[in-house]
Structures are given as structure tokens and as C-alpha cells.
Structure 1
Amino acid sequence: MSEPRIVVIDNHGQFTHLEGRALRDVGVDSEILDNDTDPANINADGIVLSGGPSMDRVGRCADYLELGVPVLGICLGLQFIADELGGRVESGDYGGYADVDVRILDDDDPLVGSLAPETRTWASHADEVVEAPDGFTVTADSDVCGVEAMSDTDRDLYGVQWHPEVSHTERGQAVFQNFAAVCE
């Protein structure tokens, strides 16, 4: 089987280029595309919705959820998925980036289960998901946030609040490997 092709949708986040590199480092054919790219021009086995500064700048991300391929939302990408599908996002108590110890709640989850029982992450909680949408399972939490990760395995939609692509996050590459396996 050939390597999966996963596109990273650039929501103007400061770490987007690292997400593309992390995917390439785990053997994935990856490309970064602007978030106003026509969905008809996206040929991918999976999509990563990058982090970014504002929900007002997510371009055509709603259209990408309709492409029928697995989607991984990172930080703003997670928040976008939750908001778009009926969950709730609110301002968090911790706005700056910090180390956060995350508890994995489902060791069978295809995205974060392999990180159980806990992992140290690098995250901002300026905004956070406070209620996951219907169909999603909360797969990780922390003392800072009740929804650090969520999954809807029936629709292959996943998200993490933290940034697996940065070196400060332990075992971040495992998140990208796991997502690549979902996309194969």
C-alpha cells in the first residue's frame, strides 16, 4: 500500500509548517494548502486543520469536513470542528502557551490511545472546547481543560487542544503516526 497523502490546511497558525514536516517525518506525502483552497482541488487521504489565531479566519474549513476523509483538528482546528458540529467553545482561563499534563481517557482511541495513561503537551488554552458535539467522545482531559482531545471514530473526525508538532510535546510524532494509520 502506498503512503497516505495528508494535506494541512493553513489557518494562519505559527506552527503550521511544523505540522507538514511532522507528517513528512512519519513517511506521509504532505502538502500545506491555504484555507481558501477550493475543496474540489483537494486530493487527499486525510486533512489536518491547523491551529490559528481566530475562528473568523478559518476560510473554507466547513467544506473540508464534507470531503469524506479523516480530519484531525489541532488547537483552533479542534475548536472549529466542535463549534461547527454543535459543540461549545469558550475562552479559557490560561491564554499563554504552557506545559500541560494530559490524561488519556480511552486507551483504545485510534488517535491518542497509544499515549495512555498520560502525556506532557505544549498548549494554549486561550480558547477551548467546553462541550464536545454529539457523536464525539472526549478522549483526553487535564486539570486545565475538560476536553483536551475528542474523537468521532464513525466519521473519522479527531482533534487535540495541544500542539503535537512542537518539540515541547512528548510523543507528538505518535499522534501524527496514529492519524496516518487512520488515513491508510
Structure 2
Amino acid sequence: MTRIVVIDNHGQFTHLEHRALRDLGIDTELVDNDTPPEEIDADGIVLSGGPDMDRIGNCPDYLELDVPVLGICLGMQIIASELGGRVGSGEYGGYADVTVGVLDESDPLIGSLAPETRVWASHADEVKEVPAGFTHTGSSDVCSIEAMSDPDRDLYGVQWHPEVAHTENGEEVFENFLDICNA
């Protein structure tokens, strides 16, 4: 059975990410972001959202574990920041219900949501420039980079929260990530 570990970056919805995976019948565990990388036993990792970049623990080290990684909100920003992208303050600020246009229908994480999907996202901070090797895969009128993917390294990120009820196709995002982990 595929095992996906959710890294707790102390966000308000982290427990919902864990629950969404469990509800899909996935073997999952919620672990603190200070867990040593050598103690992570997983076929995939979800880097949860959280309050700020100052409390990301060992998240940069988890990117080196050679398993697929899905970054959600702060998790996506960690991936971008650690791999040479740029993160900055969003113009919109807080949470918003937005329509994300899917820019790449072949993307393994969000391509199935094309042409667009409604999501719930925080835009206090956001990715301003994707790292080398990544493709910009989702955009909205609130945030230019709502999603990014690097299928060659199995690294993915979404600015929005697929685990909340306000996101239309959130379960599909987790199912697609499971497929990535099983590939």
C-alpha cells in the first residue's frame, strides 16, 4: 500500500490534508516538520501549509528524499524558495475563492482539472518566479502562479488548499498525487 506522509508546518488546515488522504484509503501519517529526514518512511510527501517561512523545520531536507513531493500553499513556497525560485507578498492578501485556469492539460497533478477549477487559497505570500526545471501550470486573476510542476523530479505545488470543502476538485488533486506516487 502506498504511504504518504503529511509534514506538519503548523497550518490551520494541516489535519484536513491528513484526513483527506486517509478518507481516500491511503496509508498516511502526520509528522512534525522537525522530524529527521532519515525517519521519514514514505512513498510520497505532502508539505502542508503554515504560518510562515521561519518555522519550516527540516522541509528543505525532505526535498532530497527521492520521493514525490506535493507542496500546498506554504509547502509550495518552500519548494520554490529552496530550489531557486522567488517568493514574495501577494497583492490580494488573505484567503479568496478564486478560479484557477489550468495552463497545461498534460500536467500529472492538475491537468485533469482543465480548463479551470474553483479553489480556496491564501495569498498573503505567493510564488513570484518558479525555479528552474518547473513549469507554471495554474494561474488566476488574484495570483499569477497558482500551481507549478517539475515531473522529472516529481515535485509539485499548489497555492490553494485542496483539502477544504470550498475547493471544488480537491480530492482529485490528492488522487492525482497518489497516482504520481504509484508510478
Short-chain TM bin = over 0.9
1:24-43 superposed matches below 5 A: 24-43=22-41
1:125-179: CA deviation from partner (whole Å, max 9, x where unpaired): 0000010000000010011111100000000000000000000000100000000
1:86 aligns with 2:88: no
Paired with 1:11 and 1:87, the residues of 2 have a C-alpha distance of 20
TM-score using structure 1 length: 0.98
Paired with 1:13 and 1:28, the residues of 2 have a C-alpha distance of 21
In structure 1, runs of 5+ residues without a counterpart are: none
Shift of 1:98: 1.2
Shift of 1:97: 1.0
Shift of 1:114: 0.6
Q: 2:46 aligns with which of 45, 48, 54?
A: 48
Percentage identity across aligned positions?
74
Paired with 2:127 and 2:33, the residues of 1 have a C-alpha distance of 21
1:23 aligns with 2:21: yes
Q: CA RMSD in A?
A: 0.6
Q: 2:110 aligns with which of 109, 112, 125?
A: 112
TM-score using structure 2 length: 0.98
Paired with 1:133 and 1:96, the residues of 2 have a C-alpha distance of 24
Code of the residue aligned with 1:79 in structure 2: it is Q
Structure 1 stretches of 4+ moved >6 Å? none
1:56-83: CA deviation from partner (whole Å, max 9, x where unpaired): 0000001100000000000000001000
Code of the residue aligned with 1:181 in structure 2: it is D
Code of the residue aligned with 2:97 in structure 1: it is D
Report the count of equivalent residues: 182
Q: Which residue of 1 aligns with 2:72?
A: 74
In structure 2, runs of 5+ residues without a counterpart are: none
SS in 1 for 2:94: strand
SS in 2 for 1:146: coil
Q: Which residue of 1 aligns with 2:58?
A: 60
